[in-house]
Structure 1
Amino acid sequence: MAGRITPAQGRYGGKDAAERRAERRARFREAGLECFGAGPGYRATRLGDLCKAAGLSTRQFYEEYRTLEDLLADLHLYVNEVAQQAVLDVLPDVRDLPAVERITAYVRAYVRGATCDMRHARIAYVEIVGVGPRMDRRRLQRRAVWIEMMSRMAGEAVERGEAPPGDYRITAAALIGAVNGLMHDWAVGWVDATLEEIAGELLQIVLGRYKIAT
């Protein structure tokens, strides 16, 4: 199995090793977004094609990653962080609003963040499915982050008397499954709906489970 090659140190072309590495990774990530998220997809992408899209060599790829799956895992983390940050960005503006308005803002922010680039949606909901045990573990680790985030929000609603007490970690896990299923089917074209309709459906699922009157 190919392993990572140690990149050259020192300055070259006016950039130090850290700057060159950051630039390479950015170019490989963009190429991965394009090949996995807009082009042939992860399974049909060859290393040579990815490197050609990045304008870099296979040696330079192995300085950053061991396999294409490592790049996919990197992109999966990145697109999840974009979606999560979209939710975090609205928190200061809605923290004092009633539960319905807060949850509406959270759901819409998530949908915007997850679909701000359709390549993100394809990677997050389609390309990572069924890749293998290692990727499945990474998906579960990331899912745990979302479960924790949703549980905190539910706990806040309970503390304010806006939702009845309950084990909302189970709820969060169930909701994430529903979100992933719906977004997968939407991303591959099996569900014909606007993003507003998608957000509206997810909102009704969340409000219904939390027993929050609209």
Structure 2
Amino acid sequence: MTGRLRAPTGRYGGKTAAERQAERRGRFLDAALKLFGGTPGYRGTTVAALCEAAGLSTRQFYEEFRTLEDVLAALHLRVNDWAEEAVVAAFAAAAAGLPLAERVTVIFRAYAGNVTADPSRIRITFVEIVGVSPRLEEQRLARRARWIELICAEATAAVERGEAAPRDYRLAATAFIGSVNGLLHDWTAGWVDATLDEVVDELVRQLLGILRPPGWVPEGR
């Protein structure tokens, strides 16, 4: 023999096995966003229908997921990650250093703009995920807890700057996140006659009312 056999690189069509797997998974999640977040919804979707929408086979589905519930779980995390990334980016680009009211407005406009950019995201986050199983309820509440932590962290920072009243904000933040979720869902469903900017302004007023209750005066004023 004049040469050696090369070890397989794992590439096919210029992509590694990991890249192909990520692409397949992405196609399943993109298809699930349309089906779970639209018609027929998660409970009305079959594995066969999801595979057809993704343009992939059932064999490929079971290489990536065990059940449709696993797809919903992954999709729920993906949608929440998009919103969280939008908030972090907005804070880094524009909100840092602004007075409290302006900073909160920038953050909520970024969040609301992201989750309402596609009505399917709202339905995945606030409708389809609810009551599916104990596992998904735990995941849903865990992701909600992350948003509560974000509000509490912002409140704590505002207190340290003298922009908000000192108190334990966990209960108030939990109630406020419920208001955010409910209002954005109802607005997306067409039950609230307002523009998205008006919805954001209302949420900002509610949060500022929590951070700056009637009668509270910043120190030194």
1:33-44 correspondence to structure 2 within 5 Å: 33-44=33-44
Q: 1:14 to 1:96 in 2, by over 3 A?
A: closer
Q: 1:43 to 1:189 in 2, by over 3 A?
A: farther
Partner of 2:103: 102
Per-residue CA deviations over 1:100-147 (Å, capped at 9, x if unaligned) read 111111111110121122221221122112222111000011112111
| 3-state SS of 1:191 partner | coil
Partner of 1:24: 24
Partner of 1:13: 13
1:171 maps onto 2:172 in alignment: yes
Percent identity, please. 57
Q: 1:109 to 1:202 in 2, by over 3 A?
A: same
Partner of 1:188: 189
Per-residue CA deviations over 1:52-105 (Å, capped at 9, x if unaligned) read 000001111111111111111111111111111111112132221111111111
Q: CA RMSD in A?
A: 1.7
Larger Rg: 2
Distance 2:139 2:73 in 1: 7
**Quick check: 1:125–1:187 contact (8 Å CA) kept in 2?**
no
Partner of 1:114: 115
| 3-state SS of 1:63 partner | helix
Distance 1:62 1:191 in 2: 41
Distance 1:148 1:186 in 2: 25
| 3-state SS of 2:197 partner | helix
**Quick check: 1:38–1:119 contact (8 Å CA) kept in 2?**
yes
Distance 1:191 1:42 in 2: 25
Distance 1:82 1:39 in 2: 22
Partner of 1:162: 163
Bigger CA drift: 123-132 or 47-56?
A: 123-132
Structure 1 unmatched runs, 5+: 1-8
- Length, aligned pairs only: 205
Partner of 2:4: none
1:126-165 correspondence to structure 2 within 5 Å: 126-165=127-166
TM-score normalised to structure 1 length: 0.89
- Greater RCO (CA < 8 Å, at least 6 residues apart): 1
**Quick check: 2:87–2:110 contact (8 Å CA) kept in 1?**
yes
TM-score normalised to structure 2 length: 0.87
